[in-house]
Amino acid sequence: MDSEVSNSEIMANSWWEIKILCDPALEDLIFWRLEKFGCRGMSSEVKGNSHLLCSYLPQIQAQLLDLAALSLWLRQDALTLGQTIPIVHWRLIDEEDWASSWKQHWQPQDIGDRLLIYPAWLSEPESSERLLLRLDPGAAFGTGTHSTTQLCLEALEMRLGDGSQGVVADIGCGSGILSIGAVLLGANKVYAVDKDPLAVRSARSNRDLNHINAQQMVVERGSIGQLQKLTHHQAVDGILCNILAEVIIELIPGMSAIAGPKTWGILSGILLDQAKPIADILEQYNWVVAALWKRQEWCCFNIRRS
């Protein structure tokens, strides 16, 4: 007797593939929108003067009206920032196509002088002079392909390359890529927090993938308040934060609360035209901008206490 397959079972094995052609300045904001929408496996590639973002969503989580609403949000975001409206396309694919489509967009990548970001589904290289950072980001932001992540990892390499170790806090850890990078580069301990439970799960999974002890890289759901509990209100030596400028502005007072007189910070996710308001607020809370690194339209603040 033939078994019947229900519509819900078919939907459970189907995915929406969402492709967005956009101005590079909108990339972080669009990633944030996609993450909130429930998308997984996000990637980015350069297409001339634009970026092509690709992401996936289980069919069962969204109907056509939901996708239309997402497209409208992206349009409104672009108009608010005075940018070109993104072009959004979507189509249905099956589970097997989803897995292969997502993975083919992402290849090993050298970052700075010491790190090699390596997709978890590839066999480990036979030999490499670089520190191997294995990653399967899942639904969380942070693959190493985005300028802001690269800037943070390069700044981290310089910060920890002088023999500095200590305790590092990673606020909005996403996939855990910066926390893992900090451990590989020599940090004694990292406290990683994120409000998104999917990010917490992803960061813990990637921690295990890199054979890092759970006591050396502590991953918990939350923000500054949770960090204070984890550190027993002791100051940290370094702070990492790669989110959006608007969120960083809100977090600066809290960052100051977990900082000591010699604490350093690496902040990114900031567009060049957002740099001045960030710098002004940092100054109000007794931070000095030691260096400002730029790549494309993004910048990375290297800060220390004044």
Confidence category of residue 103, pLDDT binned at 50, 70, 90: low
Q: So what's the pLDDT on residue 18?
A: 94
pTM: 0.73
pLDDT at residue 289 tops 70 = yes
Q: So what's the pLDDT on residue 79?
A: 92
pLDDT at residue 279 tops 60 = yes
Q: So what's the pLDDT on residue 234?
A: 94
pLDDT at residue 97 tops 70 = no
Can you tell me the distance from the alpha carbon of 219 to that of 300, in angstroms, rounded to the nearest whole number?
24
Of 209, 29, 190, the residue nearest 137 (C-alpha)? 209
Residue-wise pLDDT tens digits, 149-187: 899 999 999 999 766 679 999 999 988 999 999 999 999
Q: So what's the pLDDT on residue 4?
A: 38
pLDDT at residue 5 tops 60 = no
Lowest mean pLDDT among 70-79, 155-164, 273-282: 155-164
pLDDT at residue 220 tops 70 = yes
Q: So what's the pLDDT on residue 259?
A: 96
Across 46-74, average pLDDT: 88
Residue-wise pLDDT tens digits, 222-251: 999 999 999 999 999 999 999 888 889 999
pLDDT at residue 71 tops 80 = yes
Q: Give me the domains of the chain, ranges plus CATH numbers.
A: 7-104 (3.30.70.260), 109-305 (3.40.50.150)
